[in-house]
Chains A and B, each alone.
Chain A
Amino acid sequence: MVSVLAARGATNCIRLACPYNIAKRPILMKRNTLVFSAVLFILAAFAWAGWANWEYRRQAAERLQASAGQGEQVPDSSGAPQYVPALLGKPAPQFTLEDLNGKKVSLASYKGRALVINFWATWCAPCKIETPWLIELRNRYAAQGLEILGISADDIDRGDPRKLNEEKRGIAHFVQQMQMPYPVLIDADSISKPYGGLDALPTSFFVGRNGNIVAAQMGLTTKDDIERSIKKALANYQAGGSAGQQLPEWN
């Protein structure tokens, strides 16, 4: 670049029939510095854009990984979105929670049974629609080894006994009103992370007798969908039992 500009300067001098003017050198050098700075700036801009792109891709990959952990919505055969968590086919995450009487209940105590782990809340209108379906299906399939664990996602203030009692009373009122015959546990929030965040209610996980999650649903679907998932959990139970396979431990 510098040599080209110097040559141009020399050509001008020839055209003007004058020797190369040394006085013009500072101007030429100033121009060269400017051009050099501009090129350097452009290169820096490209490097920065490249870094930003790389950073963006890295963050997108992290986001993808995080969303995979939380499950995703995919359409089923009817086109309705279904919740397919990363937990599908994996053991249901262990937990021990209290029921409304303060008794500790652990998932491990249901070893060998087909289970529906149903997360709900008193403030969730779709849960109110779903609960009678669950009760009906539980009564229909209980003899085949099905149990439902209802886990309330209502806020729990452990630091304030008066408030805690009030909250428990609210949950108990709902349980009584809906005539829920199955165990109801509280403080879903404490186990929300291993269960994918529980960003929306109702959310249900269907667990086969071997302790693995065979289906999951987020949001209100239909009674038929729930029954299909229950049958999957029971089929897992029957296959495990009839084939005489060694059932893995829950813990």
Chain B
Amino acid sequence: MFETKTGSGIALAAVLTLSAALAQGQRPLVDGAGRQAAKPAAVAYLYPEQVTVPAGKPSVVALHFRIPPGLHINSHTPRESELIPTTLSIPADSGVRLDGAVYPPGSEFALPLDPKTKLSVYSGEFIIQARIVATAGGHLVEARLRYQACDNNACMPPKTITAAIDVIGK
């Protein structure tokens, strides 16, 4: 009798696990209002999610980003004035001030159909050293990275992504 109970329990757990897995796999591609889900950004913020810095003093935080294979974005210092540079900013009212940022140097890149024109780009993973000054306490900072991505044949419109960082000033 106890075996029967245990068997039922296992079966129930299995069904529930399977159902939960199915539901996870079927995460809606459109949101609740029926709109198409936002297209994935070309750049993803990786880490850190949380940093602790001395309050009131400039501290350097390395922000890691990733660009998927096949895409590139302009570096902070593109070679032509029309091209949109990659820039980091922090909203003024976040309790954390961006005192400065050191961007990595861009890699030299040329489109296959125009090998003579060299571009300065980021691809793969890149790190921006952000110098921040935080007031005392916890601040959920939504740093913004503006960039413009292309592949070898086409460019996407400029985009701004948010890098959420929990900054604790001590």
Contacts and interface: CB of A to CB of B under 8 A. Distances in A.
A181 interface: no
A46 B148 CA distance: 46
A174 interface: yes
Interface string A17-46: 000000000000001001100100110011
A195 to B, nearest CB: 14
B23 A45 contact: no
Interface in A91-150: 121-129
A170 B83 CA distance: 11
Given A124-B150, A126-B150, 8 more contacts: A49-B19, A53-B26, A121-B155, A125-B83, A125-B111, A153-B157, A200-B155, A220-B111
Interface in B82-128: 82-84, 111, 113-114, 117, 119
A56 B26 contact: yes
A29 B140 CA distance: 54
Given A48-B19, A49-B23, A62-B36, A38 B156 contact: no
Interface residues of B, number: 37
B155 A124 contact: yes
Interface of B: 1, 5, 8-9, 11-12, 15-16, 18-19, 22-23, 26, 28-30, 34, 36, 39, 82-84, 111, 113-114, 117, 119, 148, 150-158
Interface residues of A, number: 42
A9 to B, nearest CB: 10
Contacts of A34: 5, 8
Nearest to B114: A129
Interface of A: 8, 31, 34-35, 38, 41-42, 45-46, 48-49, 52-53, 55-56, 59-60, 62-63, 66, 121-129, 153, 155, 170, 174, 198-202, 218-221
Contacts of A124: 150, 155
B15 A53 contact: no
A155 to B, nearest CB: 8
B111 A129 contact: yes
Contact of A62 (B18, B34, B117, B153): B34
Contact of A31 (B5, B34, B154): B5
A221 to B, nearest CB: 8
A66 B34 CA distance: 11
